[in-house]
């Protein structure tokens, strides 16, 4: 349970980051809003019924730390079962919209050199150069052939010099 709860800040950050790490931007926005809404309502419940100091800010991280500190109390609460279910659902929903990052190669546009990452329907490098579906096939060949051409050019130059 604690593990699911503590995974929420990272999942929230991934959901909030947008493409290329996201399958469905609208859905990710909804999941982000749900995480904030649901966590803050559980924080309010703890503060109202148990008293004490509310989390310093309404960031997901602070709220998760706060709820984690009150986990034993929440587990004994009448609504404790709902809390467990809701946190599990939030984590699952967030995992559903986040794409595991897959690095396809190195961007060769204008000496960019950043990683090209696939996510959802987008393929772009970390600097934002976009690769259209029509270019995907040639992408692998092109990245590889740049390396080969570079080698040949070096060989030619050193050949001429000797
Ligand atoms: Zn690039």
State the pTM of this model. 0.63
Q: How far, in whole angstroms, is CA 106 from its chain's centroid?
A: 20
Write the pLDDT tens digit of every residue in 92-146. Answer: 999 888 876 677 888 888 889 888 877 656 788 878 888 887 777 777 665 555 5
Rounded to the nearest angstrom, the distance between the alpha carbon of 122 and the centre of ligand 1 is: 14
Token pair, residue 158, equals: 């050193």
Rounded to the nearest angstrom, the distance between the alpha carbon of 1 and the centre of ligand 1 is: 41
pLDDT given for residue 4 in this prediction = 92
Rounded to the nearest angstrom, the distance between the alpha carbon of 107 and the centre of ligand 1 is: 5
Token pair 């809003």 is at which residue?
33
Task: List the chain domain ranges.
Answer: 2-97, 102-161
Rounded to the nearest angstrom, the distance between the alpha carbon of 115 and the centre of ligand 1 is: 7
Write the pLDDT tens digit of every residue in 25-38. Answer: 899 999 999 999 99
CA distance 58 to 66: 10
Return the HEC string of 116-138.
EEEECCEEEECCCCECCHHHHHH
Rounded to the nearest angstrom, the distance between the alpha carbon of 4 and the centre of ligand 1 is: 35
pLDDT given for residue 54 in this prediction = 92
CA distance 136 to 64: 40
Rounded to the nearest angstrom, the distance between the alpha carbon of 133 and the centre of ligand 1 is: 16
């Amino acid at each position: 349970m604690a593990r699911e709860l503590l995974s929420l800040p990272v999942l929230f950050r991934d959901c909030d980051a947008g493409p290329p790490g996201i399958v469905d931007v609208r859905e990710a926005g909804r999941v982000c809003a749900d995480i904030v809404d649901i966590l803050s309502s559980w924080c309010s419940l703890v503060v109202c019924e148990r008293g004490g100091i509310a989390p310093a800010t309404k960031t997901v991280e602070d709220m998760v730390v706060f709820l984690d500190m009150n986990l034993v109390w929440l587990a004994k609460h009448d609504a404790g079962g709902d809390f467990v279910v809701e946190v599990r659902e939030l984590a699952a929903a967030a995992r559903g919209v986040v794409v595991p990052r897959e690095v396809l190669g190195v961007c060769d546009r204008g000496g960019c050199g950043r990683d090209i990452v696939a996510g959802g329907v987008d393929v772009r490098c970390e600097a934002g150069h976009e690769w259209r579906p029509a270019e995907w096939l040639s992408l692998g060949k092109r990245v590889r052939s740049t390396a080969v051409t570079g080698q040949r050019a070096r060989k030619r130059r050193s050949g001429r010099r000797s």
